[in-house]
Structure 1
Amino acid sequence: MRVAGAVVVIAVLRGGSGSDLARRFTAAGAAGVLVADQNPGAAEDLAAELDRPGCPVIGVSSDVHLPSDVAALVHTAVEHLGPIDLFCVTGPDGERIVSLDELPDHLDPLAELLALVGDAISEVVPPQRQPVASPSASRTAVR
């Protein structure tokens, strides 16, 4: 995975932190980093701390569970930093880094990215137990 000169997007899920990833990428020579965090103000504070000449860091409040938010942060990253090379999702239980040069040229890049983000989220967040139906719900369903 090439980091030097790469434009990186880091999407932080609730309970996660993008600070370690952002620090690693800026130290490795990324050309720019966009951090998107569900926690209002967290990404903006991190960006203010890490932003420097040669590696601008942008922080936005965003929820990558929402396709419209993913589209908006992709637009913001491309507009301010250039084409995205690496898209990362980090949560309380891990991280996943996707290299966008692996995307097939013939597919809609945003649609494919949305699918990859969904896959990445499922990898870094443990599966939730299925809710057990309450007895009253069972009786209602039988009627």
Structure 2
Amino acid sequence: MRVSGAVVVIAVLDGGSGADLARRFTAAGAAGMLIADQHVGIAEDLAAELDRPGCPVVGVSGDIRRPSDVAALVDTAEKHLGPIDLFCVAGPKGERIVSLADLPDHLDLERLAELVALIGEAIGELVPPQRRPAGSTATAA
């Protein structure tokens, strides 16, 4: 997995933390990051701390269990940082990194659906079953 020069999205689930992951990506030479957290202010504060020339960092509130929030994250990342290379999910049981190398530079609706499916798999790996919201379709891979 190539991090140097990559645009990275880090989505933090309830009970997870993206701070260490974001710091590792910054140290490894990421070209830009978007950090999303379900709790207002958390991602924004971390982004302000890590933002620097050569690696702009954007922080937003969002819940990646909602496809509309995933679409908004993709739009925001592409608008401010360019095409996404890595999409990371940080949950209470760790983190999962999804490489988007096989997806086109711009995510159309069909590719966005594929991304949502990959994120669902990642959530299933990182969220204990008893912590999943009622009606969640995320399952362990």
Shorter-chain TM-score bucket reads 0.7 to 0.9
Equivalent in the alignment of 1:112: 114
Equivalent in the alignment of 2:38: 38
- 1:104 Cα offset (Å): 8.2
Q: Which amino acid aligns with 1:43?
A: A
TM-score, normalisation: structure 1: 0.86
Equivalent in the alignment of 1:9: 9
SS in 2 for 1:14: coil
Q: How many residues align?
A: 129
Q: Which amino acid aligns with 2:54?
A: G
State the distance in 2 between where 1:2 and 1:109 align: 21
Equivalent in the alignment of 2:72: 72
State the distance in 1 between where 2:104 and 2:10 align: 21
Equivalent in the alignment of 2:134: none
Equivalent in the alignment of 1:135: none
- 1:28 Cα offset (Å): 0.3
Structure possessing the higher radius of gyration over alpha carbons: 1
Runs of 4+ in 1 over 3 A off after TM superposition: 102-105
State the distance in 2 between where 1:104 and 1:85 align: 10
Post-superposition CA distance 1:93-121 (Å, at most 9, x none): 1110000013489x921010000010000
Q: Which amino acid aligns with 2:122?
A: A
Structure 2 alignment gaps of length 5 or more: 132-141
Structure 1 alignment gaps of length 5 or more: 130-143
Equivalent in the alignment of 1:53: 53
CA RMSD of aligned residues (A): 1.9
Which residues of 2 match residues 79-118 of structure 1 at below 5 A?
79-103=79-103, 108-118=110-120
State the distance in 2 between where 1:127 and 1:3 align: 31
TM-score, normalisation: structure 2: 0.87
State the distance in 1 between where 2:31 and 2:104 align: 23
Q: Which amino acid aligns with 1:15?
A: G
